[in-house]
């Protein structure tokens, strides 16, 4: 998509910051990592609370049919969104030797992919409406697809902000997008826009985000040269295939459950899965917004890659292991107290899924690291193998109901994911013993916590579920902290020292 000379010569709004090199003090990267996670985490959680409130308010004004029509469009949009950016943003962050000319060409390429995604959606809109037998669907698909044109302008500048380690600004922009979406949806719902509330609210947020990104980090355009952009296209292709493969196998359990199980069992499995992986998914999204830039900054330094992988793994495990294993231990009291007797059927699958959710939360880090150090093709094929294997495993497991599908995650996912760990350990020369040692504080303390909860629970009288759940949570948290401080005092001190970086 050739651009005019005036467009090509647009100067950046702020001088580009030099990316960290091998000469960059490690403490500066440590501080950027901790502060980035802190800012991204606090803004994400605060904006999530606002979004939940807005969603509940809007849901009271709309009718279920409005959400049904929007969900039909979301099925299509979820897949096209994976393809629209073509991994360009990740390539800009990871490929650190790109010249400013190449970045300008990539910026133009981003507009081309955004326009292509919009045009494809316009063509597909009417067939989608006929397939779902929903005449009102095509305008919704076309309107939603206009977001591809809007966000195409922000893909490269946003990635440059991440590459420059400007995590605080990125977090503020993301928070502003969420806030604008929430305010827009509430306003439109009050004005009686019906299902268009859901469509236009998202477009408002995308527009606000794009404007803020361009104000913070503008990037020039240049006519793409295929030879110069070959590394970007190749990396983007591998990233797209990786994302599609992940999308396939991470959604396959619900697809199989929908085909093989009664509707009630499907509903219980779906809800159990949502609750079990809610915290790990939030943490993984948080890591995905920060860690690629940090890994990329030290991508040729094995010692620092080892240190960051071990530190992040230990930190994630300290949070997710007690939460997920604790949920598995108190699943019965939680379900009965929060949802009632009619949801008892979801207890068993939730126990299995929650017990494994902690492992899933740390399993993504080796793959993210491989993507940054030039091993994305290997990572891609592992994800493709998972997409080819796990759906069959879910089908086999479905013969034992929802628990069988949940068990397939525990049995098969570690096997198909093991090559990522093996390759990562080999590439950065990380002994397995050191990795296990990083997991041991969270694993040992969580195991003690679960044992104490289960033992004490056997001696408690049949009190109301809410009271039992309160006792479980208080007891579990106390035992976990006590076990950490008693058995791993030095590691707790190190973790506290890391947190002090926020104030330095």
Per-residue pLDDT reduced to its tens digit, 159-169: 888 888 888 88
- The pLDDT score that the predictor gives to residue 222 is 87
Tell me the C-alpha distance between 22 and 30, whole Å: 14
Residues 283 and 182 in one domain: no
Residues 222 and 281 in one domain: no
Q: What is the number of other CB atoms lying within 10 angstroms of the CB of residue 27?
A: 10
Least confident of 143-152, 269-278, 398-407: 269-278
Residues 450 and 502 in one domain: yes
Residues 146 and 80 in one domain: yes
Residues 276 and 145 in one domain: no
Residues 309 and 223 in one domain: no
In a domain, residue 14? The reply is no
Tracing tokens 């760990």 back to the chain, one arrives at: 421
Residues 48 and 181 in one domain: yes
Q: Tell me which residue range forms the domain holding 327.
A: 263-504
Residue ending a domain, choose from 207, 228, 249: 228
Least confident of 72-76, 87-91, 94-98: 72-76
Residues 310 and 456 in one domain: yes
Q: Exposure pattern of 267-279 as b/e (b: 16+ CB <10 Å)?
A: bbbbbbbebbbeb
If DSSP states are collapsed to H, E and C, what string results for 168-216? HHHHHHHHHHHHHHHHHHHHHHHCCCCCHHHHHHHHHHHHHHHHHHHHH
- The pLDDT score that the predictor gives to residue 379 is 92
Per-residue pLDDT reduced to its tens digit, 434-444: 999 999 999 99
- The pLDDT score that the predictor gives to residue 231 is 86
Tell me the C-alpha distance between 211 and 154, whole Å: 8
Q: Please give the average per-residue pLDDT across 191-207, as a whole number.
A: 89
Phi-psi region of 274 (alpha: psi -120 to 50; beta: other; left: phi over 0): alpha
Residue ending a domain, choose from 228, 245, 278: 228
Residues 201 and 271 in one domain: no
Task: Work out how many domains the chain is built from and give that number.
Answer: 2
Residue 19: pLDDT band (50, 70, 90) is very low
In angstroms, the Cα distances linking 277 to 37, 369, 414, 470 are 20, 22, 16, 21
Tell me the C-alpha distance between 48 and 66, whole Å: 22
Report DSSP letters for 292-316, one per residue: HHHHHHTTT-HHHHHHHHHHHHHHH
Per-residue pLDDT reduced to its tens digit, 338-377: 778 888 888 999 999 999 998 888 888 898 899 888 898 9
Least confident of 213-227, 361-375, 483-497: 483-497
In a domain, residue 255? The reply is no
Residue 497: pLDDT band (50, 70, 90) is low
Q: What is the pTM of this model?
A: 0.76
In a domain, residue 4? The reply is no
In a domain, residue 319? The reply is yes
In a domain, residue 251? The reply is no
In a domain, residue 238? The reply is no
Residue ending a domain, choose from 184, 202, 228: 228
* Of the candidates 58, 6, 44, 48, the residue with the CA atom closest to the CA atom of residue 196: 58
């Amino acid at each position: 998509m050739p651009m005019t000379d005036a467009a090509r010569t647009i100067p950046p709004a702020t001088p580009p910051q030099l990316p960290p090199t091998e000469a960059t003090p490690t403490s500066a990267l440590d501080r950027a990592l901790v502060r980035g996670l802190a800012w991204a985490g606090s803004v994400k959680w605060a904006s999530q609370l606002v979004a939940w409130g807005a969603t509940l308010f809007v849901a009271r004004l709309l009718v279920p049919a409005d959400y049904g029509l929007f969900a039909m469009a979301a099925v299509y949009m979820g897949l096209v969104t994976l393809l629209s950016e073509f991994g360009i943003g990740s390539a800009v962050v990871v490929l650190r030797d790109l010249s400013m000319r190449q970045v300008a060409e990539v910026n133009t390429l981003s507009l081309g992919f955004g326009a292509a995604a919009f045009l494809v959606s316009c063509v597909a809109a009417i067939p989608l409406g006929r397939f779902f037998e929903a005449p009102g669907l095509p305008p919704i698909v076309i309107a939603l697809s206009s977001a591809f044109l809007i966000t195409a302008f922000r893909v490269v500048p946003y990635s440059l902000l991440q590459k420059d380690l400007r995590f605080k600004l990125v977090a503020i922009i993301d928070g502003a997008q969420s806030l604008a979406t929430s305010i827009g949806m509430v306003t439109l719902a009050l004005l009686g826009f019906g299902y268009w509330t859901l469509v236009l609210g998202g477009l408002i947020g995308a527009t606000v985000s794009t404007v803020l990104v361009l104000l913070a980090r503008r990037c020039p355009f240049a006519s793409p040269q295929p030879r110069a952009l070959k590394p970007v296209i190749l990396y983007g292709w591998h990233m797209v295939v990786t994302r599609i493969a992940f999308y396939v196998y991470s959604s396959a359990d619900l697809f199989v459950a929908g085909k093989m199980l009664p509707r009630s069992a499907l509903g219980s499995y779906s809800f159990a899965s949502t609750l079990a992986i809610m915290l790990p998914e939030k943490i993984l999204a948080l890591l995905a917004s920060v860690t690629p830039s940090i890994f990329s900054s030290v991508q040729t330094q094995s010692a620092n890659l080892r240190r960051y992988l071990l530190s992040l793994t230990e930190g994630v495990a300290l949070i997710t292991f007690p939460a997920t294993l604790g949920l598995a231990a108190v699943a019965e009291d939680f379900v009965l107290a929060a949802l009632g007797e009619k949801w008892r059927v979801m207890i068993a699958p939730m126990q299995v899924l929650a017990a494994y959710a902690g492992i899933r939360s740390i399993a993504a880090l080796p793959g993210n690291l491989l993507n940054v150090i030039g091993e994305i093709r290997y990572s891609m094929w592992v994800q493709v193998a998972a997409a080819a294997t796990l759906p069959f495993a879910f089908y086999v497991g479905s013969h034992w109901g929802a628990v069988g599908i949940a068990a397939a995650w525990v049995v098969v996912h570690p096997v198909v994911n093991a090559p990522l760990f093996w390759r990562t350990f080999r590439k950065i020369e990380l002994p397995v013993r050191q990795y296990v040692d990083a997991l041991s504080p969270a694993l040992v303390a969580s195991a003690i916590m679960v044992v104490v909860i289960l033992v004490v629970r056997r001696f408690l009288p049949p009190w109301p579920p809410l009271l039992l759940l309160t006792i479980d949570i208080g007891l579990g948290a106390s035992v976990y902290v006590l076990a950490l401080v008693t058995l791993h005092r030095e590691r707790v001190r190190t973790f506290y020292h890391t947190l002090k970086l926020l104030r330095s």
